[in-house]
Structure 1
Amino acid sequence: MFRMTSSDARLVMFLFIMSFTVLSTQTGPDVHLKTFCSNNALNYTRNSAFENNLKIVLKRLPSITSLTGFNYTFFGEASAEVYGQALCRGDVSSSACRTCVEKASKQIFNDCISRGEAIIWYELCQVHYSFQNMTSLSVYAGKYLDRDSKEKSVSDQVHFLKFSKYLMTNLSNEAAFNPFNMFATGKINFSRSKTIFAHVQYTRDIRPHECLKCLKSAITDLEGCCSSRKGGMVLSRNCNVRFELYQFYNVSKHLSSPTSRGRKWKAGKVACVVFIPITVLAIVIGSCIVFLRHKRRKETDVERSHLALLQELANPRGVTITEEGQFFYDA
């Protein structure tokens, strides 16, 4: 019979605590990133019909969002109508999603009292409400985080930018045409000991080409603020992008898409992006040369056959027919 010693028990307890700690960092209590209360929106008065409708919309968001990862709803009529939207990061569990949206909904109401439009971002989710239909609001307006400027710089900035941009571009193309949760994660080794981890995501109320446009703008802003730093994030109304030198997402908790799990991009692919088109072009050019030479040779042979036939017609030879029916050309 196996007996567990006190040292074995301590080891098991240590491993259990460590595994719980790792899980908590990925799906546990969320962190508030930024709140934006619009100054251009129509303000509402306290205890008005708009405020009551806003409370109803914010209360509706958590339950459905926790099941699907995204929710868009509205309530009210005419000038008191309120539109609400919630999005959870594609790698979090349903319970963590619900907890985040509930927390964000309470905070956005308190932070932006009397504002007719506002959006709040957390580590794992975002909540947005407005007095107007948000499906028609696809104008990009990226938001930086104060912590981006505090990130340390990398040593080889040119090399780092090339690999990070390659990774983010590929993830954007993958997310834009992902029919599930419009979310993609991935990583790439840019040195023997260092790896870039990244994620991109957009809300599900915009079309793929609008998604790509939003993500490209966000990546451009990300390059402007953080191309030489060890981490960065850009937030917007419809899309978010982020990269770090550590794995900040959970590859085993994607909400609804088996295809959006973290992908590892090979460093060699960066070179292939340039090498493959050149190789293909060389093959195409070579094939064209061989085809043209073969065609020219064939045309020459046909011309020769026609010339020989004309010569024979111009100088006909005599033909002798034997009794057995055989033909012989006279010399």
Structure 2
Amino acid sequence: MALPASSFPTLLFFLFLISHPRCEAAESFSHYCSYNRPTTPAISKSIAKVLSALVSKNPPKRLNTVSFGGGKSKVFGLAQCHRDINATECKSCIEDATAQLPHLCPGQADAGAWFDHCFVAYDHERVPEQHGTGF
């Protein structure tokens, strides 16, 4: 069954919309994982809490550090946005980064990732460094 000629422009427009989404998630252009420091269930819980806290703190500050847990399960986190982006872009980048980072370094207690507009990291021994982000 052939489509009527009048349906062709509508079909092209629909195909264009599918192939060009309006919003795209931030993608990591570089990341690091410390493969010699695996997580434990307690550290994994602390990582999840730290990442959640980083999302809730951005904005207003462009640089935030948080920690969660105690003793051997304590985890430190850092989120930093590039100076030249607005608060909405900052929050969006931090949300995307905190969602992706555990998947970039599964099961690791020390990880960080650079995105176009932000840097996010967590570490179970110390506050993560910016690692030359230039932000």
- What TM-score results when the alignment is normalised by the length of structure 1? 0.32
Residue 51 (structure 2) aligns with: 58
CA contact 2:75–2:124 (8 Å) conserved in 1? yes
The alignment-based identity, stated in percent, is: 25
Q: Take 1:240 and 1:121, find their aligned partners in 2: how far apart are those partners?
A: 11
Residue 240 (structure 1) aligns with: 134
Q: Take 1:29 and 1:44, find their aligned partners in 2: how far apart are those partners?
A: 26
The match for 2:33 among 34, 37, 42 is 37
Q: Take 2:101 and 2:26, find their aligned partners in 1: how far apart are those partners?
A: 15
Residue 78 (structure 1) aligns with: 71
Q: 1:63-212 to 2 correspondence within 5 Å?
A: 63-134=56-127
Q: 1:309-324 to 2 correspondence within 5 Å?
A: none
Considering fraction of residues, name the structure with more helix: 1
Q: CA deviation at 1:81?
A: 0.4
Q: CA deviation at 1:37?
A: 1.0
CA contact 2:64–2:80 (8 Å) conserved in 1? yes
CA contact 1:66–1:98 (8 Å) conserved in 2? yes
The higher relative CO (CA closer than 8 Å, separation ≥ 6) is in 2
CA contact 1:108–1:120 (8 Å) conserved in 2? yes
Q: Take 1:93 and 1:35, find their aligned partners in 2: how far apart are those partners?
A: 23
The DSSP-based 3-state class of the residue aligned with 1:68 is coil
Q: CA RMSD, aligned part only?
A: 2.1
For residues 131-157 of structure 1, what are the alpha-carbon distances to aligned partners after superposition, in whole Å with 9 as ceiling and x for unaligned? 11126x5xxxxxxxxxxxxxxxxxxxx
Runs of 4 or more, structure 1, over 3 Å off, are 28-31
Q: Take 1:31 and 1:110, find their aligned partners in 2: how far apart are those partners?
A: 12
Q: How many pairs were matched up?
A: 113
Q: Take 2:107 and 2:66, find their aligned partners in 1: how far apart are those partners?
A: 20
CA contact 2:75–2:122 (8 Å) conserved in 1? yes
The DSSP-based 3-state class of the residue aligned with 2:38 is coil
The DSSP-based 3-state class of the residue aligned with 1:101 is helix
Q: What residue ranges of structure 1 are gaps of 5+ in the alignment?
A: 1-23, 138-202, 204-236, 242-331
CA contact 1:34–1:122 (8 Å) conserved in 2? yes
Q: CA deviation at 1:238?
A: 4.3
Q: Take 1:125 and 1:131, find their aligned partners in 2: how far apart are those partners?
A: 21
Q: CA deviation at 1:96?
A: 0.7
CA contact 2:93–2:118 (8 Å) conserved in 1? yes
